[in-house]
């Protein structure tokens, strides 16, 4: 079977890497892809928002499965477009993807069906928001309603912070139309985890738990990015906690969507805070996360294409669970200095050849360009360094040791990915 992957980042490289292992997959295309994927996929010069061109390519090349990486085409309705033309594609339709595309919509679903989450208010103009925030209790979280690449969430510790957030989102339009509405919600205290599940609209099965670090600097300081690192599984999510999440969040969410007449098929990626009173939802995503995919795929003990086909064909009821290896994985993103604001590209990346000798390391490319046999930086996030092994604290040590073997000018990375794990009792980590 021929597979088309839509997207060009580390997430898409990780999906290609996993699909390449399937005996059912004969060839992989990536649109537009990146040069780091060339060993396993052929790049196609079509951007992710060119839905008609993607569909034409899929038909002309007899693509057996199109896999959508980023959220924008999902929210734009790429799945609806493909399905109407009898083209196989993995991901939720436009109405279902609204669960990620509108934070206000997600909150309405959570509230209506009593799924645990923080209290919230929605505002369509800055004056109303500021009037509310003047008398609010802090800290609060101010969110752009629409898609903002994971960067439209601002924690405000006081009114001045909140005022700045409203101005940036609604008046300065830092995130474009995504800031036409904002959601202001309670700040929920606890350990943050992400749960990834597959659902065919009738059955929902968890895959695993992860933890992502979004802030650009150590200690969760600085602006949010598309992700500076992640690890899986979370030591805070044992079998008992996962069962609780399935019982109180995953299955109720699926029931809620069904009650609203929404057929959700694909990945359901739920951001959760583990509070003293139990797990609470902070957001939904309608696709695999980045960089979380870079730690999930190496741990997935299943044929990814088969899982996608079962999801599309409403056959997940025939699986009791989705199997993962009992290992740990940690990904650290190597980025350009200045990311996510202004940064320069075009610097040679040295040391990549030596990294191939490490059996427990996978290097996923996010923003690289291949020229005359050498790789150069070509984006804000450049590489994802993913180490896999037994014992997550040991894996963290390994990935940082390997980072010392690669370099490019102005290379930036966080040195504390997984730092909260040291607070967990050792027997629950190892």
Same domain, 312 and 359: no
Tell me which DSSP letter residue 39 carries.
T
Q: How confident is the model at residue 425 (pLDDT cuts 50, 70, 90)?
A: very low
Task: Provide the domain count of the chain.
Answer: 4
Same domain, 311 and 216: yes
Q: Kindly report the average pLDDT of the chain as a whole number.
A: 95
385 and 334 in contact (C-beta within 8 Å)?
A: yes
d(CA 418, CA 402): 16
d(CA 141, CA 133): 11
Stated pTM of the model: 0.95
Q: The CATH number of the domain where 245 resides is what?
A: 3.30.470.20
**Is the confidence at residue 422, as pLDDT, over 90?**
no
- pLDDT tens digits, residue range 191-219? 999 999 999 999 999 999 999 999 999 99
Same domain, 338 and 393: yes
- Domain membership of residue 323 (yes or no) is no
Percent of the chain with pLDDT over 70: 98
- For 81, residues 6+ apart whose C-beta sits below 8 A from its C-beta are 51, 52, 55
- Domain membership of residue 247 (yes or no) is yes
- pLDDT tens digits, residue range 63-103? 999 999 999 999 999 999 999 999 999 999 999 999 999 99
Same domain, 199 and 292: yes
104 and 181 in contact (C-beta within 8 Å)?
A: yes
How is residue 234 written in tokens?
């979370």
Q: Furthest-apart CA pair in the chain: how many Å?
A: 61
Percent of the chain with pLDDT over 90: 94
- pLDDT tens digits, residue range 125-138? 999 999 999 999 99
The 10 Å Cβ neighbour count of residue 176 is 12
Q: What is the DSSP string of 378-392?
A: -SSEEEEEEEEESSH
d(CA 426, CA 429): 5
Among the candidates 140, 169, 186, a domain finishes at 186
Among the candidates 38, 67, 99, a domain finishes at 99
- Domain membership of residue 9 (yes or no) is yes
Cα distance between the two ends of the chain: 39
**Is the confidence at residue 427, as pLDDT, over 50?**
no
Same domain, 299 and 356: no
Residue 164: predicted pLDDT: 94
155 and 141 in contact (C-beta within 8 Å)?
A: yes
Q: The CATH number of the domain where 21 resides is what?
A: 3.40.50.20
> Which of 207, 137, 224, 170 lies closest to 414 in space, CA to CA?
224
Among the candidates 267, 287, 318, a domain finishes at 318
Coil, strand, or helix at residue 165?
Answer: helix
Range of the domain at 78: 2-99
Same domain, 198 and 305: yes
**Is the confidence at residue 30, as pLDDT, over 90?**
yes
Q: The CATH number of the domain where 138 resides is what?
A: 3.30.1490.20
How is residue 377 written in tokens?
């930086």
Same domain, 301 and 208: yes
Phi, psi of 342 (to 5 degrees): -105, 140
**Is the confidence at residue 428, as pLDDT, over 90?**
no
Q: How confident is the model at residue 402 (pLDDT cuts 50, 70, 90)?
A: very high
Residue 148: predicted pLDDT: 87
- Domain membership of residue 106 (yes or no) is no
Same domain, 338 and 385: yes
7 and 69 in contact (C-beta within 8 Å)?
A: yes
Q: How confident is the model at residue 233 (pLDDT cuts 50, 70, 90)?
A: very high
- For 379, residues 6+ apart whose C-beta sits below 8 A from its C-beta are 34, 336, 345, 366, 367, 368
Same domain, 308 and 257: yes
Same domain, 177 and 140: yes
Residue 103: predicted pLDDT: 96
Same domain, 73 and 125: no
- Domain membership of residue 110 (yes or no) is no
- Domain membership of residue 65 (yes or no) is yes
How is residue 124 written in tokens?
């369509």
CA 101: distance to chain centroid? 14
**Is the confidence at residue 307, as pLDDT, over 50?**
yes
- Domain membership of residue 416 (yes or no) is yes
CA 430: distance to chain centroid? 25
Same domain, 309 and 216: yes
> Which of 321, 314, 383, 397 lies closest to 352 in space, CA to CA?
383
Q: How confident is the model at residue 44 (pLDDT cuts 50, 70, 90)?
A: very high
- Domain membership of residue 111 (yes or no) is no
- pLDDT tens digits, residue range 369-385? 999 999 999 999 999 99
Q: The CATH number of the domain where 335 resides is what?
A: 3.90.600.10
């Amino acid at each position: 079977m021929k597979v088309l992957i839509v997207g060009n980042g580390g997430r898409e490289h990780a999906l290609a890497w996993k699909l390449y292992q399937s005996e059912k997959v004969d060839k992989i295309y990536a649109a537009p892809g990146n040069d780091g994927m060339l060993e396993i996929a052929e790049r196609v010069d079509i951007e992710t928002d060119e839905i008609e061109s993607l569909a034409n390519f899929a038909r002309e090349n007899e693509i057996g499965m199109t896999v959508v990486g980023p959220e924008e085409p999902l929210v734009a309705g790429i799945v609806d477009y493909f399905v109407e033309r009898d083209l196989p594609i993995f991901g939720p339709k436009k109405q279902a993807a609204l669960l990620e595309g509108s934070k206000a919509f997600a909150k309405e679903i959570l509230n209506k069906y009593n799924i645990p989450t923080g209290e919230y208010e929605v505002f369509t103009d800055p004056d109303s928001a500021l009037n509310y925030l003047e008398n609010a209790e802090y800290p609060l979280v101010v969110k752009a309603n629409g898609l903002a690449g994971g960067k439209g969430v601002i924690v405000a510790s006081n009114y001045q912070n909140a005022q700045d957030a409203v101005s940036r989102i609604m008046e300065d339009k830092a995130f474009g139309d995504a800031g036409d509405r904002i959601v202001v919600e309670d700040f929920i205290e606890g350990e943050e985890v992400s749960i990834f599940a597959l659902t065919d609209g009738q059955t929902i099965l968890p895959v695993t738990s992860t933890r992502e670090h979004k802030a650009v600097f150590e200690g969760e300081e600085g602006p949010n990015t598309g992700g500076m690192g992640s690890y899986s599984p979370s030591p805070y999510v044992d079998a008992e906690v996962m069962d609780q999440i399935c019982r109180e969040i995953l299955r109720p969410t699926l029931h809620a969507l069904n009650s609203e007449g929404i057929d959700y098929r694909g990945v359901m990626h739920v951001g959760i805070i583990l509070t003293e009173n139990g797990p609470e939802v902070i957001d939904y995503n309608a696709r695999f996360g980045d960089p979380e995919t870079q730690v999930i795929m190496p741990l997935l003990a299943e044929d990814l294409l088969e899982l996608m086909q079962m999801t599309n064909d409403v056959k997940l009821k025939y699986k009791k669970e989705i199997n993962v290896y009992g290992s740990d994985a940690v990904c650290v993103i190597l980025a350009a200095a200045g990311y996510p604001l202004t940064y320069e590209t075009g610097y040679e990346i040295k040391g990549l050849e030596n990294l191939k000798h490490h059996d427990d390391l996978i290097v996923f490319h996010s923003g690289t360009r291949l020229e005359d046999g050498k790789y150069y930086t070509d984006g804000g996030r450049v590489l994802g360094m993913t180490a896999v092994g037994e014992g997550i604290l040991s894996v963290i040590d390994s990935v940082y040791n390997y980072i010392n073997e690669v370099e490019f000018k102005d290379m930036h990375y966080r040195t504390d990915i997984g730092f909260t794990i040291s607070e967990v009792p050792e027997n629950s980590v190892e």
